[in-house]
Amino acid sequence: MFSYRYRYGFIFLLSLYSFINIEVTVGSRLFDFDLTWYYLFGVLALVVLGIWELNRLAEIKILIGKEKRVHPLILLFLVSFLSVLVSSTVALYALYLSLDRPLQLNFDHWKLLLAFGFRVNLFLNCINAIVFFMNRLKKVQLEAEQLKKQTIEAQFEALRNQINPHFLFNCFNVLSTLVHKNADASAKFINQLSQVYRYLLYNQEKKIVSLTEELAFIASYTYLLQTRFSDHLVVENKISELSENAMVPPASLQMLIENAIKHNVASKKLPLTISLEHKDGYLIVSNSLQKKEIAEESTKIGLKNIISRYKLLSDQPVEIMKTDSKFIVKLPVLHLET
């Protein structure tokens, strides 16, 4: 608030209001000597200006910086006492100089200006606190809207995967082959397919899910893929279950696996290897880099969406690395506060 671009207009208005209030109540009797109206307005304006500007400098140092143990508004209010002392003292000596009075501090005069300064300072800090929390509320609301937007995009991506005709077509092809060859295998395939779609339907509106749920979903999803691709695809899941409060955005691991299959060759001569592991608080999804000569059409929503959601859910960013032989994505493990 103190750094507001039109602050000098507000300083003038606050000085004018204070002058009118004092003029109506005590007038020239504020001090024990005659004081014309313009000197009275000048000394009041100087106190208001000094308090505002010194608080502005303190605000820049306190509010713009590293997090502190004490709330920045409390620190600013404590520092503002010094602003009142300095402003009142300078304004009083400026008044003495203007009136050719001896530069000897009169404690009665000083206490009057201090009382006025502390009232002004309390009013300004109250307004500043209101503005501070209003801005913070607006920021939280904006982040909530952004997260809502990203969640809607994730829902769209998940729904797109559910009704993806190629995915369904491939699953039904595999199923039709299994039905004739192995009834038990086809029953298991149907069960795993239902697990995949149940997870997507139940969790598409959630911001985060437990890692345990995500891993169970991935187990069903990779079973479908490996049934389809056989030895053309190798999925190495090295992630063991972590603590109960370990969380991830829903279907984030699935999106990364899907991207790897979409953009890379998976054949008998050149099997695609996808590895999932946990290390140093990150879920690491890596795949062998063997790009298709003719790339499939991609909306590029999946990876961007995961990155955007993590920006709103965590201070730790998603890390993406690419080597000559591997494409690696590191997702921070989220934790619920206990």
Residue that terminates a domain, selected from 93, 111, 142: 142
Contact by Cβ (8 Å): 263, 296? yes
**C-alpha to C-alpha distance for 104 and 257, rounded to whole angstroms:** 80
Q: Are residues 63 and 33 in the same domain?
A: yes
Look at residues 113, 142, 171 and tell me which one is the last residue of a structural domain. Answer: 142
pLDDT of residue 144: 83
Tell me the C-alpha to C-alpha distance, in Å, between residue 23 and each of 19, 26, 126.
6, 6, 25
Whether 101 shows a pLDDT value over 90: the answer reads no
**Same domain flag for 86 and 182:** no
Residue 24 has pLDDT above 50, yes or no: yes
Q: Is residue 91 part of a domain?
A: yes
* Same domain assignment for residues 29 and 133: yes
Structural domain includes residue 58: yes
Q: Which domain holds residue 317?
A: 163-335
Tally the domains of the chain. 2
Spatial neighbors of 263 by CB under 8 A, at least 6 apart, are 291, 292, 295, 296, 298
Based on the fold, state whether residues 133 and 170 are members of the same structural domain: no
In tens, the pLDDT along 195-205 reads 888 888 888 77
CA atoms within 13 A on the CB side of 27: 2
**CATH code, domain with 254:** 3.30.565.10
Determine, yes or no, domain membership for 182.
Answer: yes
Output the CA–CA distances (angstroms, integers) from residue 231 to 13, 138, 176, 223, 247, in the order listed: 79, 53, 19, 12, 31
**One domain, residues 89 and 229:** no
Check whether residue 174 and residue 289 sit in a common domain.
Answer: yes
Sign of the CA dihedral 258, 260, 266, 271? negative
Q: Quick check: is 153 in a domain? A: no
Judged against a pLDDT cut of 50, whether residue 319 lies above it is answered with yes
Band of pLDDT at residue 308, cut at 50, 70 and 90: confident
Q: Is residue 157 part of a domain?
A: no
Looking at residue 110, what DSSP letter applies? H
Model confidence at 86: pLDDT above 60: yes
Q: Looking at the structure, do residues 180 and 313 belong to the same domain, yes or no? A: yes
CA separation for the pair 27, 46 (Å, rounded): 18
If you write DSSP's letter for every residue of 80-106 in order, what string do you get?
A: HHHHHHHHHHHHHHHHHHHTT------
Give the mean model confidence (pLDDT) for residues 74-101: 84
Terminal Cα distance for the chain, rounded: 35
| Cα gap 224→173, rounded to integer Å | 12
- Position 151 in a domain: no
Q: Are residues 253 and 130 in the same domain?
A: no
Report the pLDDT value the prediction gives residue 163, as an integer from 0 to 100.
45
Do 238 and 327 share a domain, yes or no?
yes
Q: Are the C-beta atoms of 277 and 235 separated by less than 8 Å? A: no
Instruction: State how far the Cα of 310 lies from the Cα of 296, in Å rounded to an integer.
Output: 26
- What is the maximal distance between C-alpha atoms in the chain? 111
- Considering the domain architecture, whether residues 175 and 207 belong to the same structural domain is answered as yes
Residue 73 burial (CB count, 10 A): 16
Inside any domain, residue 150? no
- Sort strands 246-248 and 233-237 into parallel, antiparallel or unpaired: unpaired
